[in-house]
Amino acid sequence: MKKILFILLIGFVTSLHAEPKKIFVWQDPNGVLVFSDTPKLNAEEIKLNTNPNIIKSVSAAIFDASNTEKNAKEEYKISIEQPKELGTVRDNTGSVYVSGKIEPVFERGLKVKLYLDGTLYGEAKNSSIYILRDVDRGEHRIYMELLDKSGKVIATSPTRTFYLHKNSIINPN
C-alpha cells in the first residue's frame, strides 16, 4: 500500500512541474474559431496564465469580418485557361470548352459563374469547367466570377475574347 501511495505522490508532484501545453487559435474558411494544441499557418498562440482557470483573450483581429473579406478578395484569383485569348474554336455544333484556373486552391463551398457576351451562362457551379452549347459563329467574350459560400463575388477573371468558326455548306473552307 505504501508503494502505491508513493507512486501516486510522485505522479502528482511531477504533474505540478510539467511544462504547460501551448494552445493555438485560427479562423477556418467558414469563420469559425478553431482551438488546437498543434500550430497551423496564421494561427495565434494563446499564452496561458499559471492559473489554469484564467486565459487571456484572443486578438480582436481574428473577429474582424471586414479584414477577413479583404484577405479573401486578395487571396483568390481566377483566370480562363481555355479558349486562348483571341483564339479560334472550330466546331460545327457550336460547342466551346471553357476551363478556368483558381489560385491558390479551389475549396469546397466556392462557386463559379460564367458570363458569355455579358450574359450569365447557366447557374453557378462547383467547378471551373464549362461546356458551352449552340454558340453562334463569330466573336465572343467570356469571363468568370468566383463566389464565396455566401454568394459574394471574391474574384473576377479578365475578359477573354475568342472566335467560333463553323464550316459553311456554301463555302466549306
Number of separate helices (H) and strands (E) present in the chain: 2, 12
For the chain, give percent helix, strand, coil, nearest 5.
15, 40, 45
Q: Which residues on neighbouring strands pair with residue 46, listed in sequence order?
A: 23
In 3D, which of 107, 36, 35, 30 has the Cα closest to residue 68?
Answer: 30
Q: What is the mean pLDDT of residues 93-111?
A: 87
pTM for the model: 0.55
pLDDT top residue among 29 and 103 = 103
Cβ contact 79:106 at 8 Å: no
Measured CA to CA, the distance from residue 24 to residue 47 in angstroms comes to 9
Quickly state the pLDDT bin for 106 (edges 50, 70, 90). confident
Q: Does pLDDT of 70 surpass 50? A: no
- Between 50 and 137, the higher pLDDT residue: 137
Confidence bin at 160 (pLDDT 50/70/90): very high
